[in-house]
Structure 1
Amino acid sequence: MAAADMARTEIPLTEATPVVSVKPVALEAPGRGEDLRVRISAPTTGSELPVVLFSHGFGSSLDGYGPLADFWAAHGFVVIQPTHLDSRTVALPQGDPRAQRLWRFRVEDMKRVLDRLDLLEAAVPGLAGRLDRTRIAAAGHSFGGQTAGNLLGLRVLDPVSGVADDLSDPRVTAGVLLATAGRGGADLTPFAAENLPWLKGTDFAHLTTPALVVAGDKDELPMSVRGPEWLTDPYHLSPGRKSLLTLFGGEHSLGGIPGYEARETTDENPERVALIQRVTWAYLRQALGMEDAGWTAARKWLSEGTNPLGRLESK
């Protein structure tokens, strides 16, 4: 049996439903330089729907990450995707003064979405009254993983102010951090230290909100001298309830989660993507207090040490 077929057998799902998606919905954002553009995807049926706020990787946009956003929405989540200022669709001019604080604008984008849930809900036909605002998770890939992590308690030493503010948000009670940067300092390459100053002073000591960390064991980034192990820091260096899904053979795109035909995917692997879809879905349902049957099954299946796709551990 193929590994993807095994995932379908081992991790049970709710039945998929049609999805409605609306974009772009513009949120006024004083001080940002332009409105915040947002995409909302939701199942056409169901009530008391939990919310996943998803932060894209550097350069992507609200149009990215269909393999995750579509899957989560088809299986009962409302997925909200803002387009951050580093997106290629924004085309921030070279030397723009906002560049040094891209990481901070990203966090503000996420909080703005949470502040304007009423407007976003009203923008989707048939969605009014169907959100469960007590069940909100933040998720993100790469730079977006750090952004989601900030809402969970991860602190960043601001390269402008020199202060590591607490930007956590109590409205967010769970997270999924995909291919997310580790600690800074001596672990960074000269390139990262010079060009990505928001990586210099990451502090995981306050990242207390429950989260699933997803990392590929072949993810060789030009940002750290430690290799793929660096991407597991959000799990190992943070307190509280955390789980780590290690994907065997996974590179930075984790098999293809940035998009169905994303040019940056170097390790295209539909089976790996199918596994991530199911494991993250099961984790979110468990972490948000909905049900834990899928997560229990995933942990049992991926903790035995013989799975060809990956390994799941928790603390």
Structure 2
Amino acid sequence: MFPVPTVSVKPVLLPAPGRGTDLPVKISAPVTGNDLPIVLLSHGYGSSLDGYGPLADFWAAHGFVVVQPTHLDSRTVGLAPDDPRTRRLWRLRVEDLTRILDRLDVLEAAVPGLAGRLDHGRIAVAGHSFGGQSAGILLGLRVLDPGSGPAEALSDSRVMAGVLLATAGRGGSDLTPFAAENFPWMNPDFAHMTTPALVVAGDKDDLPLTVRGPEWTTDPYFLSPGKKSLLTLTGAEHSLGGIAGYDARETTDEHAGRVALVQRVTLAYLRHALGVESSGWAAVQDALGAGADPLGHVASK
């Protein structure tokens, strides 16, 4: 399908009692089309609703309504390290996403010409890095946070599928001492993450958070039940070629072809998983399943 013009509106502020500040949201949508599926896109630690243009713009231009919140860990918020909310960031992020799902009517009305064009029955969630954990929780992932007691089931039945990009793996002994001390929520339990998802991992994503190396970010695929697919990007580091922004300084592995592959594969997967059409995803699996593309390969279970 060919891209179409899009429109974006920001910030739309959703009242958020108990959060300390209203929730800012950006909505991007194609200017044409009806029954548009929805993707919630959760940013990585420190980013904001202004990030991830290479994904948000691409998905919107190909028929999706993309909704991006600014979570409290964003550099634009400047939350102090001793703020009591800091230790609950993982949970507050999930509340941000569920708040969006609860108020889709408000967001729809905020974009001129969008009212009545969304398909509220076709919703996916996507996230990069810390945002991948946030998205995964809506898919069934549970967090073993020592500060919040037993892991809770916070999945949301309104979400049909997910895309988890460069997302953290197991906690415990797999973490570096720095990660264990500073990110107590980095203890995911994947055993209940049954909702279908595409996991995207870079084979050079050697994070200082784990002692296991790049394979750590494939855990959401290997340790979760249900229908899952894995796109492994050859030579990709944590920004997967540059998905975090068009000029993001944290991109250490800038590669336009790699970003284009992520765009193509995630779009095909989302259209398939949300029941729009599946021929594109079948073509991706055929092309990348045999390992013929030097930029990456796809596996499914």
Short-chain TM bin? over 0.9
Secondary structure (helix, strand or coil) at the match of 1:198 reads coil
1:197 corresponding residue in structure 2: 184
1:103 matched to 2:90:
yes
1:146 matched to 2:136:
no
Name the count of aligned residue pairs: 301
1:58 matched to 2:48:
no
Q: Note the C-alpha offset of 1:78.
A: 0.1
1:300 corresponding residue in structure 2: 286
Partner Cα distance (1:271, 1:212) in 2: 19
Q: Note the C-alpha offset of 1:271.
A: 0.1
Matches within 5 A, 1:238-253: 238-253=224-239
Secondary structure (helix, strand or coil) at the match of 1:132 reads strand
1:81 corresponding residue in structure 2: 68
2:165 corresponding residue in structure 1: 178
Q: Note the C-alpha offset of 1:306.
A: 2.4
Relative contact order (C-alpha < 8 Å, sep 6+): which is higher?
A: 1
2:12 corresponding residue in structure 1: 25
Q: Deviations over 1:96-129 (max 9, x none)?
A: 0000000000000000000000000000000000
Partner Cα distance (1:299, 1:95) in 2: 47
- Report the residue type matching 1:297 in the other structure: A
Secondary structure (helix, strand or coil) at the match of 2:123 reads strand
TM-score (norm 2): 0.99
Partner Cα distance (1:75, 1:39) in 2: 17
TM-score (norm 1): 0.95
Runs of 4+ in 1 over 4 A off after TM superposition: none
1:4 corresponding residue in structure 2: none
When structure 1 is superposed on structure 2, of 215-224 and 158-167 the one drifting more is 158-167
Partner Cα distance (2:3, 2:246) in 1: 19
Q: Deviations over 1:227-268 (max 9, x none)?
A: 000000000000000000000000000000000000000000
Matches within 5 A, 1:189-228: 189-199=176-186, 201-228=187-214
Partner Cα distance (2:10, 2:19) in 1: 20
Structure 1, unmatched stretches of 5+, are 1-13
Matches within 5 A, 1:100-139: 100-139=87-126
Partner Cα distance (2:211, 2:229) in 1: 24
Secondary structure (helix, strand or coil) at the match of 1:253 reads coil
Secondary structure (helix, strand or coil) at the match of 2:142 reads coil
2:295 corresponds, among 300, 304, 309, to 309
- Report the residue type matching 2:248 in the other structure: A
1:255 corresponding residue in structure 2: 241
1:280 corresponds, among 252, 263, 266, to 266
Identity of aligned residues (%): 75
Partner Cα distance (2:117, 2:247) in 1: 32
1:34 corresponding residue in structure 2: 21
1:10 corresponding residue in structure 2: none
Structure 2, unmatched stretches of 5+, are none
